[in-house]
Structure 1
């Protein structure tokens, strides 16, 4: 029987001893994910292109007693992704339990207003970059014996919404990628799932679709 002083947090599951990499963890949904995982006891590594913001968030989390580290990384740059995984491997002794592919971008334009560079940028940031990061992280996830990948998709990848054609296409592709990776990597004890939220009000100035 639980004592009267037992809190809700005391009854929650624990991630103590687990390791996690969360991309784009200094703002919005990514920020909340880092805080939740660290609050449950996981050791978390996150990344951002903004060094000042990254340092401020890491200091904030550590002030709360969370085990959080960070790296400056532009996820559209292959060499920087490779360096990120090298750092994560070093910090977590070659094993990773959780990879959260949260970082993404959006361009709000009608179909006829999209330039080729808009399409290339959104697809690289939202599809190519997380795909490559999964490839790089695979050895660490497999070595953990209990690997988990979570993609942040969007309701826009399921239904048609205005001014989001290329963004929606990138998220629809993430939904399908989840199925393929889940089939291919089940033998390595790596689970792959996707979360597809709708509009979310965050600290990024206004409601956004991730």
Structure 2
């Protein structure tokens, strides 16, 4: 094997992926496992998570695939995840913060519980997962965190103001940690997807008129696939991207570059 090929592999690495039972999170776990990483998967739905672990173990028999059901908006569950990691005695060097959700309403229609819940799920859970992971990641020379943001954190889209606020905050957290933790050997990057074909996007995209509007604003003229986000996430975890940190990479079919 050519020496440079090892820069495009994750053999011997362990990655923690949140929101991993479906959609982008599942695609990320699958991509990282295919590149040789052992994967630790977190999701709220224990049954779905067990199915995913079985699928990935069968597809990638040479890596370890383990899962734990947890609600990352709950402080006790977050601590339990890292107790589990300590019990496993694995060397965690990669973290993918993918867990997130939304509730779409006009700004004046949100209750305080509504928007606080979105912040808990999309921002505070990732913030705390980064903090809890740092003592593990700092032990490695090439550790990486990838936060899954959104184009909603960069420009206005019809996702509701709290969602855009949370994704913008996640992007800024990414930049701040990249600078603060660079001296610790921890790279921190993010991705900003546009519409990706997942269970969460299906209801909106089922509206033919709305779908036409989305495609009209997307130069590539199609909806993205979870695997296309996962490929960028995986690259940001690879040694090949070892001089990349603090970046938010749009995975958007050209949406953010569209003009009139």
TM norm structure 2: 0.73
1:202 shift after superposition: 2.0
- Which of 184, 191, 197 is residue 195 of structure 1 equivalent to? 191
Runs of 4+ aligned structure 1 residues displaced above 3 Å come to 207-210
- Which of 82, 86, 96 is residue 85 of structure 1 equivalent to? 82
| Residue ranges of structure 1 left out of the alignment (5+ in a row) | 3-9
CA contact (8 A) 1:19 1:92 kept: no
Taking structure 1 as reference, are residues 83 and 123 closer, same or farther at Cα in structure 2, changes over 3 Å only? same
| Residue ranges of structure 2 left out of the alignment (5+ in a row) | 205-223, 227-260
1:207 shift after superposition: 6.8
Give deviations 1:49-99, integer Å, cap 9, x for gaps: 111111111111111124210001000001110110121233243x31110
- Which of 145, 169, 174 is residue 173 of structure 1 equivalent to? 169
Taking structure 1 as reference, are residues 41 and 80 closer, same or farther at Cα in structure 2, changes over 3 Å only? same
Aligned pairs for 1:45-124 (under 5 A) are 45-64=40-59, 65=61, 66-93=63-90, 95-124=91-120
Question: How many pairs does the alignment contain?
Answer: 202
Task: Report the Cα distance in structure 2 between the residues aligned to 1:112 and 1:34, rounded to whole angstroms.
Answer: 37
Task: Report the Cα distance in structure 1 between the residues aligned to 2:13 and 2:71, rounded to whole angstroms.
Answer: 25
Give deviations 1:92-124, integer Å, cap 9, x for gaps: 43x311100000011111111111111110001
Aligned-residue RMSD, C-alpha: 2.3
Q: Does 2:37 correspond to 1:42?
A: yes
Task: Report the Cα distance in structure 1 between the residues aligned to 2:170 and 2:127, rounded to whole angstroms.
Answer: 9
SS in 1 for 2:139: helix
- Which of 130, 137, 149 is residue 134 of structure 1 equivalent to? 130
TM norm structure 1: 0.90
